[in-house]
Structure 1
């Protein structure tokens, strides 16, 4: 994971410079710079909003005795979108905007939840997300007799 980040950050920086030069030559460098600054400012505002929303959701779930994991993960995805928008550049801003779209946000939430469940113990995952739903197959794989249940 560390190697991927060490390789990915310079590649993203180079790609951002290339895209900035292309966009700048297309619409003008002043407008391109203004667009990058506007996206970064919007990302900072989004970071503040999503951070407060995530905290309120966590507190509300904890006070109601519910599992706070889904709200925390939704906040993490929103914060990730804000961080991507805050980083100067068109590619990261586009990735942040895509992450704000409900379908992409839903996919990202599921991915973050699966990643979290793999990295923490079953007890912690149960405390965060509630009981896991599983399908248990009986007999041979040809027959599709599935029993749905929850692991507690």
Structure 2
């Protein structure tokens, strides 16, 4: 039996989401007035449009800086995607999407979403490609008892003659 893709549920979820947005709008307009509710939606949409531009430029600059410093750009890309997703949700009309967008833009939500993107990339791409994107990862290797290996210095150590050597490799079996 094949596992059904989560994308198969999108056509079912969209009308439910629109209905939920409608009822939340009615509740908010009842609480603060229809004019204020419409104004609040307009302000959140305009803020989302402004943030889309800012987050895009900020993410591009962070990516370029990581590339210039020969660092893996994955953390910058994940952070940028999270910010862009939050700004995009703010541009959509509705209070539910606006709150979700704000949660993605604030530091605690952004950190959680960034780690989720990293885990998704690791599951989808595998460990080697994820290491290239996000840098060294914590892995457990076993030679008897599990040991956590943490790479502290990502820069290769200089050797004799001015050339650099890669850091020493630790061989082991990856335990999931």
Tell me, yes or no, whether TM beats 0.5. Answer: yes
Aligned residue for 1:146?
146
> 1:1-152 counterparts in 2 under 5 A?
1-139=6-144, 145-149=145-149
Deviates more, 1:114-123 or 1:72-81: 114-123
Instruction: Tell me how far apart the structure 2 counterparts of residues 5 and 82 of structure 1 sit (CA, whole Å).
Output: 21
Instruction: Tell me how far apart the structure 1 counterparts of residues 143 and 14 of structure 2 sit (CA, whole Å).
Output: 47
* Equivalent position SS for 1:19: helix
Q: TM-score of the superposition, structure 1-length normalised?
A: 0.89
- Residue 95 of structure 1 and its aligned partner are, at CA, apart by 0.9
Deviations 1:4-46 (A, max 9, x none): 3222222111100111111112211111101001001111111
Deviates more, 1:68-77 or 1:92-101: 92-101
Identify, as 1 or 2, the structure richer in helix.
Answer: 1
Instruction: Tell me how far apart the structure 2 counterparts of residues 91 and 61 of structure 1 sit (CA, whole Å).
Output: 34
Q: Which of these two proteins has the greater Rg computed from alpha carbons?
A: 2
Q: TM-score of the superposition, structure 2-length normalised?
A: 0.77
Moved over 4 A (4+): none
- Residue 104 of structure 1 and its aligned partner are, at CA, apart by 1.5
Which structure 2 segments of 5+ residues have no match?
1-5, 152-168, 170-176
Which structure 1 segments of 5+ residues have no match?
140-144
Aligned residue for 2:3?
none
Instruction: Tell me how far apart the structure 1 counterparts of residues 80 and 71 of structure 2 sit (CA, whole Å).
Output: 16
The count of corresponding residues between Structure 1 and Structure 2 is 147
- Residue 150 of structure 1 and its aligned partner are, at CA, apart by 5.6
